[in-house]
Structure 1
Amino acid sequence: MSELAVELKDVRKAFGRAEIIRGANLQVPKGQRYAIIGPNGAGKSTLFNLISGRFGVSSGDILLNGASINGLKPFEINRRGLSRSFQITNIFHRLSVYENLRCAVLWSLGYRYSFWQRLNGLRDAHERAEMVLEQIGLRRRRDVAAGLLTYAEQRALEIGVTIAGGAEVILLDEPTAGMSRSESDHAVELIRRVTEGKTLLMVEHDMSVVFGLADKIAVVVYGEVIACDTPANIRANARVQEAYLGGHAPVEA
């Protein structure tokens, strides 16, 4: 088996008496793109919050590159090479596109909080921000305030912020939510391009995005991973059809 980037071992999460994640197991090899799908309320976002450290597990273990990250804070997990985006766009609206990206690269380049160091003199941060700017296709919008971007451009910028720090494991939470079909198609190409050679784990409701981008699909129902397989096998899986669509139709792209 390939070396694993992310591994969930019998992960459980309860809020009071309500058990949301019920013994989830998942193995994501390095360099693979995995999508998590499932009905509303299945626990997909909770899993993301557990992996990224926003929530702590009730029991079980989560490993990043073979090492347990249980109990670590989100920023500590980020420094170990995992970065995530959110369902709701999370950028600095008053800063320019370029300034958002420059903020995102500073820590990964070794810069810490300083009142005396001028940002304009940080050549490596400038070069990294410019490179990401090119990757996400927003060079012509470089000096525009992020709050003035279109919705699709803001989502592209958030993806840029997510990858700017150089993390090798990327979590994207519904990256195409609210987009038109053409915007979604553009976003898929962007995600494919910027995650090349990295590990991607995403939650997504748009099945055309899922089947067009993922190497493997994990299906979560009632807090358990009931299947994890290639898109073709997931589409034909009778248990997935029953759990996800009530058995009335196959899962289609």
Structure 2
Amino acid sequence: MSSQPGQAGTPALLIDDLRKSFGKTEIIRGVNLSIARGERHAVIGPNGAGKSTLFNLITGRFPCSGGKIKLHGQDLKGLAPFQINRMGLSRSFQITNIFPNMSVFENVRCSLLWSRGYRYSFWHMVSKSRELTEATDAVLEQINLTERRELPAGTLSYAEQRALEIGITMAGGADVIMLDEPTAGMSHSETDYIMDLIRQVTVNKTLIMVEHDMGVVFGLADYISVLVYGEIIATGRPEEVRANPKVQEAYLGAALEAEH
């Protein structure tokens, strides 16, 4: 089991001998990982390494073929994605997932409803809830979209839509945030904007992200795990991973070269 030095108490996320096969093809092959509370952890690797599959297993979109996943010590086996979300884990996707015809404010407010106790209470007039409005505005301020409050979400710039999705991801109060390629397709200035945002909104939270931009990875992550052909070949602090000969050979050398 890979584990980082200095971890104490129950990990935020514990993965033990995780496996996933599609037919006879094994995609995830015995992944072990322990991520501490409050840690920012990046999973990197070449295309086809199994990173998105790993995310889908953790969040309950795919059933595991073997092994265990525990969130704050609780086994996630057999749980649906919405049940895992209500246990304190939330994720974003590679493709921006918002309601484009609803306002920016309405997008965030929707993500707050369950955690604020509205759930299936159809008789509540959410527009008249001062507490809910204040909570929504607080999220908008945190993600720097207050001035875009009344705009249809689909009219935002690409980076602003990604920021909105990050706001939606964290609005429900999850303490484990999973971001899948948060800066994909962005310019350098947009990437810097999203990096700063991620730093702000994940303070005192656990962050797990898949990201190809090595500048983002080395700028944000406390620890990095390298996934190659469904197996983690190294886990460590950024400087340790950067210097690891196996990682250089399998992935990192080519990835860093592609950045220039």
**TM-score (normalised: structure 2):** 0.94
* Corresponding residue for residue 17 of structure 1: 24
What secondary structure does 1:162 align onto? helix
Q: Paired residue for 2:77?
A: 70
| Corresponding residue of 2:131 | 124
| 2:176 alignment partner in structure 1 | 169
For the pair 1:6 / 2:13, whether they are aligned, the reply is yes
> 1:30 aligns to what?
37
SS at match of 1:13: strand
* C-alpha distance in 2 between matches for 1:139 and 1:16: 48
User: Who is 1:239 aligned against?
Assistant: 246
**After superposition, where does 1:51-70 map in structure 2 within 5 Å?**
51-70=58-77
Distance in 2 separating the partners of 1:117 and 1:203: 38
Q: How many Å separate the matches in 1 of 2:105 and 2:254? A: 48
Matched to 1:205, the amino acid is H
1:83 aligned to 2:96?
Answer: no
Q: Show structure 2 runs of 5+ residues with no match.
A: 1-6
Pick closer, same or farther for the CA change 1:246–1:215 going to 2, 3 Å: closer
Task: String of CA shifts for 1:72-97, please: whole Å, max 9, x gaps.
Answer: 00000000000000000000011100
Alignment of 1:102-113 (within 5 A): 102-113=109-120
Residue by residue over 1:191-211, the C-alpha shift from the partner in whole angstroms, topping out at 9 and shown as x without a partner, is 000000000000000000000
Q: Distance in 2 between matches of 1:5 and 1:251?
A: 33
**In structure 2, distance between residues paired with 1:101 and 1:42:** 33
% of aligned pairs identical?
62
Q: Deviations over 1:173-225 (max 9, x none)?
A: 00000100010011000000000000000000000000000000000001011
Over 3 Å counting, the alpha-carbon distance change for 1:21 and 1:50 in structure 2 is same
User: Which secondary structure state, in structure 2, belongs to the residue aligned with residue 26 of structure 1?
Assistant: strand
Within the candidate set 189, 207, 222, 1:215 is matched to: 222
CA drift of 1:247 comes to 8.0
Count of aligned positions: 253
The code of the aligned residue for 2:8 comes to S
- Checking the alignment, whether the CA contact within 8 Å between 2:115 and 2:173 is kept in structure 1 is yes
Counterparts of residues 137-216 of structure 1 (less than 5 Å): 137-216=144-223
Q: Does the CA-based 8 Å contact 1:235-1:251 persist in structure 2?
A: no
CA distance in 1, matches of 2:219, 2:160: 21
Which sections of structure 1, spanning at least 5 residues, go unmatched?
none
Alpha-carbon distance change, 86 to 186 in structure 1, aligned in 2, over 3 angstroms: same
Which amino acid is the alignment partner of residue 166 of structure 1? G
